[in-house]
Structure 1
Amino acid sequence: MSSPGLSLLTLNIGNPSPDRARRQLAWLVRREEDVLVLTETKASAGCRLLAEEFTAAGYAVHYPRPGPGEYGTMIVSTVPAAPDGGFGDRVGYLPSRAAAVILPAPAGALRVIGLYVPARDASAGKTERKRKWLAACDTALAAAVTEMPAIVLGDLNVLEPDHWPRYPFFAPFEYDFYRTLAEAQRLTDVFRYLHPDEAEYSWFGRIGDGYRYDHAFCSQSLSGYITSCDYLHQPREDMLSDHSALTMRLAIIPPAPLPPA
């Protein structure tokens, strides 16, 4: 039996085929988290299957449909969650990569923001795309986190500045985005709050090099309520995804659950 409180999970689902989406669904519906933030969605058959099956089962589903060839984020919850469609509009550039909902928690409304930051290679085009998106997201977050307490989860495709090992191909602007979350936006890295020195990774390269790409942050006003935050490697080990999941829990009362379908 899990401990009480509001729980959330993020997982990069990798734009699954319908077959893999069904296997992901079987794992996700057994989870006890109140809110699921699923990144690397597309307007594809596999992602539509997930959205439709979750909806049919009584979950609240916020699935901003990505444009042709683009990616996005889906937020699924067992508790009431009002879609905050305006957050993607605030980002403006590649808006489906940013999704947000508002939870009517008994102690006060909370905004849950899911992000799927663009990846890049050494090309100038993809580097500029990532730089532009991070700048737009930073501006949107600066406003959103001042309006109400916020939780930010997803595949950020950035590393903390003192990540070990250190990889030389990450640019200063990528580390600056992490610093902005922690400093300018005054958000707490939930995993680091509980595990200041632990080396954990959510994605591995071809030669086994580890990267902590998937993150959870919360407003500092919520940090005293953090009770757990851990990486779950089963999805990667069972080939449901090439990423591990990240789960977190806050000792605050969640909204009453939605009735089952």
Structure 2
Amino acid sequence: MLRVASANVNGVRAAVRRGLGDWLTDRAPDVVALQEVRCAPELVPPLPGWHLSLDAGSRAGRNGVAVLSRERPSAVRTGIGNVAFADEGRYLEVDLDDAGLTVASLYLPKGDRAADGPRAEARQRRKLRFMASLARQLTGSRLAAARAGREFVVMGDFNIAHTELDLASWRTNRRSPGFLPEEREWFGSLLSPRRLVDVVRSLHPGESGPYSWWTWRGQAFANDTGWRIDYQLASPGLAARALRGGTDREPSYQARMSDHSPVLVDYAR
């Protein structure tokens, strides 16, 4: 079995204080994609037994994507081929030859509502530019992995709830960033039985959730009024090997490592 996980840790140092190391030991994944690492490589707390591949970006205390792997990667690549985002620490991929995988970690910009003013409109336009470049990157990476005899999976925080099943309060969020029609349409364009498969949705068809993000405020976590914005999108061959998976939701508000919970999938080898 191959256990693959993704987690937006909302600061890896804080996540370690809240139990990330214990979670890694308990769940024993083979590879983990991390988002919002939020620190330079030399400041990442020790994680014995793991190879860390990290693009921290150049914005201190912001962004940062990483892959933790038991296997030492044969190659590490960063960026989505758009120089406008080259220093932001939003995309990293590694080749794991023994596992037969190329694994990518993604932190997509949140964006904003254009109706909230010029600055918000500019942020949303920038998100859309990132999405266009990312779509090309994912196609290229998937095809390159296939040529090398590897499967491909991109994991992380897409900051988009694809369908009404992926957002508890979808009726009141139809004009919210992350659930705008153009974002949802773009996300759908990534998916195809021959290109990329939303693995968790394929394992939970027709179900609400399983959500992966809840605000820290109020009773959202207790009431499970969340968003499913963290995904594993896999090449068809890997997706067909999925055995079980979903959100590894903590048992209580107090046990949370982040405002996101990990997404974990077991694949047959």
TM surpasses 0.5: yes
Match of 2:160? 158
**Whole-Å Cα distance in 2 between the matches of residues 136 and 173 of structure 1?**
15
Q: Which residue of 2 aligns with 1:250?
A: 267
1:92–1:136: 8 Å Cα contact kept in structure 2?
no
Contact 2:103 2:152 in 1 (8 A): yes
Q: Cα 1:130–1:236, aligned 2, differ >3 Å: closer, same or farther?
A: farther
> Shift of the alpha carbon at 1:127?
0.8
- 1:64 equivalent in structure 2: 55
Pairwise CA distance, 1:229: 1.1
Residue 163 (structure 2) pairs with residue 147 (structure 1): no
Residue 11 (structure 2) aligns with: 15
Residue 185 (structure 1) shift: 7.1
Matches of 2:109 and 2:23 in 1, distance apart?
Answer: 26
Contact 1:114/1:154 (8 A) holds in 2:
yes
- Secondary structure of the corresponding residue to residue 90 of structure 1: coil
Q: Is 1:182–2:191 an aligned residue pair? A: yes
- What are the residue-to-residue correspondences of 1:46-61 with 2, within 5 Å? 48-50=43-45, 53-54=46-47, 57-61=48-52
Q: Distance in 1 between matches of 2:133 and 2:157?
A: 17
Give the ranges of 4+ consecutive aligned residues of structure 1 lying more than 4 Å apart after TM superposition: none
Equivalence for 1:82: 74
Q: Which residue of 1 aligns with 2:204?
A: 195
What does residue 168 of structure 1 align with? 174
Measured after TM superposition, the shift of residue 129 of structure 1 is 2.0
1:220 aligns with 2:236: yes
- Partners of 2:235 and 2:139 in 1: CA distance: 12
Q: Do the aligned residues in 2 keep the contact of 1:154 with 1:214 (CA within 8 Å)?
A: yes
Q: Could you say if the C-alpha distance between residues 235 and 129 of structure 1 is closer, same or farther in structure 2, counting changes exceeding 3 Å?
A: farther
Query: Matched residue pairs, number?
Result: 239
Q: Is the 8 A contact 1:15 1:44 kept in 2?
A: no
Distance 2:251 2:262 in 1: 7
CA distance in 1, matches of 2:246, 2:124: 30
Instruction: Please list the CA deviations of residues 90-116 of structure 1 after superposition, one character each: whole Å capped at 9, or x if unmatched.
Output: 35442421011111136xx32111111
- For normalisation by structure 2, the TM-score amounts to 0.80
Q: Is the 8 A contact 2:80 2:134 kept in 1?
A: no
Does residue 1:33 correspond to 2:29, yes or no? yes
- 5+ residue gaps, structure 2, are 114-119, 146-150
SS of aligned partner of 1:234: coil
Summarize the Cα distance change of 1:36–1:135 in structure 2 as closer, same or farther, 3 Å threshold.
same
How large is the RMSD of aligned CA atoms in angstroms?
2.4
**Alpha-carbon offset, residue 125 of structure 1:** 2.3
Kept after mapping to 1: 8 A contact 2:108/2:159: yes
- Identity across matched positions, percent: 25
Q: Helix, strand or coil for the counterpart of 1:25? A: helix
Q: In the superposition, relative to structure 1, how do residues 178 and 202 fare at CA in structure 2: closer, same or farther (>3 Å)?
A: same
User: What is the SS of the residue equivalent to 1:130?
Assistant: helix
| Structure 1, gaps ≥5 residues long | 253-261
